[in-house]
Amino acid sequence: IGLHSGSRARILVEMGLPGSGVVFLVDEEQIAAKPKLVSSSHPRATALVGEQHTVATVEHLLAALAAFGEKDVRITVEGPESPILDGSALPFTETLAEMGADPQPHFVHLAEEVTVFHAGAKARMVPLRPQDEPMIHLVIDFERPELPRQNFTYHPLRDDFLAEVAPARTFAFEEDVEAILEAGLGKGGSLDCALILGRDGPLNAEGMRFENEPVRHKLLDAMGDLFLLGGLPLAEIHLEKPGHRLLHELVRAAKPLCSTPHPDPGSTA
């Protein structure tokens, strides 16, 4: 089921031709996973717009591809968006691993530092110095009693995406669910595919998968959006209160250079 449309959704993931990049195929139209094709009318998800079709909610799948460094992939889509599954990237990563994919990220160099702001949020990417390793640091603060301020740092070269990030589910506040539905979104949402936070804690019977599951999911989303650059940026990345709109502005403003396979920690070669 698609999270926002509530429609049946199906994807077929295949190896693409070398150098083809990540391409979504919708009714024979090819839509490349690139910043210039990101829709500006989907604030709660990442959607890519072609000449005739749109494919939405692609960020969890892209995050899984980012963790495995799978940069040449063909994805056939049936339905208006990628299926939400359990609300995390875990089903995607488990399947990729079963297919023989190796969790080794692919990186792109940045030409220069970039900083963007949006509605009180901030994102900054700084190209690495030779002695540093890539990292992503996030801070979230909704200033709500249901969710205290959280922060999380992820090092793509040495942290375990499958164990530490992939299981983190998309989340929403119980008080916001009605407004989300009234906006025509979240039609496929349920406790089976989202973490719902009430004033007395999660409504999900299993509770949280991590004590800081929300900020880990924000990292998951960020990795999916950053992968639109063709790989994870070889940079120190700092994200304060990130949402999809901020991340979309960040990747549009970035200037990627050549790509590189997974370097050793401390090396930008």
Closest CA to 195 of 185, 182, 206, 204: 204
- Please list, in sequence order, all residues whose beta carbon lies within 8 angstroms of the beta carbon of residue 133, skipping any fewer than 6 positions away: 155, 157, 158, 265, 266
User: Do residues 11 and 76 touch, judged by C-beta distance below 8 A?
Assistant: yes
Q: Per-residue DSSP letters for 138-198?
A: EEE---BTTB--EEEEE-TTTS-HHHHTTTPPPEEEGGGHHHHHHTT--TT--TTT-EEEE
Q: Is the dihedral of CA 159, 164, 169, 171 positive or negative?
A: negative
Q: Is the dihedral of CA 57, 20, 242, 170 positive or negative?
A: positive
For the chain, first and last CA: distance in Å? 42
How far apart, in whole angstroms, are the C-alpha atoms of residue 147 and residue 227?
Answer: 28
**C-alpha torsion 247→108→80→4, nearest 10:** -30
Which residues form the catalytic set?
244
DSSP state letter for 38: B
Can you tell me which residue has the tokens 């370097």? Answer: 263
